[in-house]
Amino acid sequence: MKQVLWKGAVIIGSGLCILALPVPEGLQIQAWQLFALFVSTIIAFILQPLPIGALAFMSITVAIATKVLKPAAALSGFSDSTIWLIVSAFLFAKSFIKTGLGKRIAFLLIEKMGSSTLSLAYTIVLTDLIISPATPSNAARAGGVLYPIVRSLASAFKSEPETSPRRVGSYLMQVEYQGNTITSAMFMTSMAGNPLAALLAAQAAGIEISWGLWALASVVPGVLALLVIPYYLYKVYPPELKKTPEAKLLARQELADMGPMTGAEKIVACIFVVALLLWSTAQYTGIHATAVAMLGVSAMLLTHILSWQDVMQEKGAWDTLIWMGALVGLAGQLAKSGFIKWFSTSVGSMLTGIPWLWAFIILLIVYTYAHYGFASLTAHITAMYSAFLTVAIATGAPAYLAALGFAFMSNLCMSITHYAASPAPIYYGAGYVPQGKWWSLGFQVSVINLIIWIGVGSLWWKTLGLW
C-alpha cells in the first residue's frame, strides 16, 4: 500500500509541478494542461502503481472530468483501426497456442536442423520469426511458446542453472531473447507497441507506415541481424557443448506425443498464410490490414477454432485495447493542440548548425539507451517517440528515415537489460545468465543492432526510395 501511495504522489505531483509553471509562449493553456496530464500518464506507466489498463482508464477519466478534453475527443483513440489490428493479432496468437501449432512448428524445425548447438540456435530464432507476424505479444511468443522448449532442451542436455549453465542453457537463453528482440522489430504485428509507433508517426509527422512497408523496410536488416547475432553470441559466449544430436531425438519424441497434425492446426495454418498474403499485398488489393486480421479471427470463430469464451478470456487483447486507445486519444489531441509542433520547433532551434545526420545519430543513441530507465517498450514509445521524431525532422532528417529508425530501435533497445521488456524477466529468471553478463552481452548486441539496422538499413531504405 505504501508503494502505491508514494508512486501516486509522484505521478500527481509531476502533473501539478508542470501546471504551476507559466505557459510557454506560443502555446494555448489547454495544450499545456494536456501536456501535464500526458507526462503524469507516462510516469504512471513507468512506475505502475496499478495495472497499465487501469492507469490509462483513470487518465482519460481525469481528462474528461477536468474538461481538458471533451468526451468525444478523449475517447477518439478507441475508434482507431490500428488498435483493432492488435486486438485481432492477440487472438491469432491465442489460436497458435491453443491448437499447439506454434509448438509443432518449433519441434519440426528442431527435428530437421538441430544437429549442433549453433544450428539449434538458428532453428529457435527461425521459429520465432515464423510465428512473429501473428503474435503481437512478444511475451506470449518468447515466454509462452518458445521458453518451455528452450528450457526443455537445456535440461535434455543436462544443462541446469545451478550446476552446468554454460553447457548449453546460457547460450540458448541469450540467443532466443536477443532473437526475439529482432523479430519484435520486423513486423508491425510482432510487438504491441509497433502499431502505436506507426500511429504516432502519422499523428506527429504525417508519415504513413503500412504493415507491408514496415515488413519490407525491416527484411534486409532483420534477416542480417538474425544471421549475425546468434553467431556473435556463439563466439563471445560459447556453449560448452557444440554437437546436439539429442535435440533431434527430443523433437521426434515430442512430435510423436503430439500425434498427427490436427484439423484445427491445419485451419489455423491456412488462415495465417492467407492473412500474410493479404497483408503483404495490401497495396494491390486495397484490403486494410485491420480488415484482414478481423476476417482471420472471424474465420476462426466460424470454424470453432476459437470460441467466444476464448475471445472474452484473452485479457491481453482487451487490456491493450484500453491502454492503447487511451494513449492514442491523448497523443492525437496533444498533436492537434499544437504542442508537438511547438516542441519540435523549440528543440530543433537548439540544434541549429549541427548537420542533420549527426543530430539524428545523437538523438537515436539517446533514444536507444534511455531504455535503461524503462521496463516497458510501450512506455518508452509513449514517452519519447513523437518528441524525438519531430525534433529529428526539424533538424532536417528525412522523415521516413527518422520514423523507421526510431520505430525499429523502440524494439531493439530491449536487448540491454534484464527488465527491458516482458520476456526479459522470464529468461533472466531461469537463472542461466548472471546480471552482469546479461548487461554486457546486451550492450554489445545493441551496438551491433544499431550498426546493422541504421547503417545497412538506411542504405536499404534509400534503395526503396523512402528517403
* Residue pLDDT tens, the chain, 467 long: 778 888 889 999 999 999 999 998 888 999 999 999 988 987 887 788 888 889 989 999 999 999 999 999 989 888 877 778 778 877 887 888 788 887 888 788 888 887 888 998 999 999 999 989 887 778 778 877 788 788 888 887 888 888 999 999 999 999 999 999 999 999 999 998 899 999 999 988 899 999 999 999 999 999 999 999 999 999 999 999 888 887 788 888 889 999 999 999 999 999 988 987 887 777 678 888 788 889 999 999 999 999 999 999 988 788 878 887 887 788 778 878 888 778 767 766 777 778 999 999 999 998 999 888 777 888 789 878 988 998 899 889 999 999 999 999 999 999 998 878 888 888 888 889 998 899 999 999 999 999 999 999 999 999 999 98
One domain for residues 192 and 98: yes
One domain for residues 190 and 66: no
One domain for residues 147 and 101: yes
Q: What is the pLDDT of residue 344?
A: 67
CA dist 120 and 149 (Å) reads 11
Q: What is the pLDDT of residue 283?
A: 67
One domain for residues 217 and 344: yes
CA distances from residue 344 to 17, 201, 328, 383 in whole angstroms, order as listed: 22, 14, 19, 14
One domain for residues 213 and 226: yes
One domain for residues 406 and 432: yes
- Domain assignment present for residue 50? The answer is yes
Structural domain for 187, as ranges: 75-306+338-463
- Domain assignment present for residue 314? The answer is no
One domain for residues 438 and 332: no
- Domain assignment present for residue 311? The answer is no
One domain for residues 17 and 110: no
What is the number of domains present in the chain? 2
- Domain assignment present for residue 312? The answer is no
One domain for residues 180 and 241: yes
- Domain assignment present for residue 382? The answer is yes
- Domain assignment present for residue 40? The answer is yes
One domain for residues 82 and 229: yes
Q: What is the pLDDT of residue 411?
A: 96
CA dist 235 and 224 (Å) reads 17
- Domain assignment present for residue 112? The answer is yes
Q: How many CB atoms are located within 10 Å of the residue 312 CB?
A: 10
- Domain assignment present for residue 17? The answer is yes
One domain for residues 260 and 375: yes
One domain for residues 212 and 355: yes
Task: Mark 82-111 as b/e (b = at least 16 C-beta within 10 Å).
Answer: bbbbbbbbbbbbbbbbbbbbbbbbbbbbbb
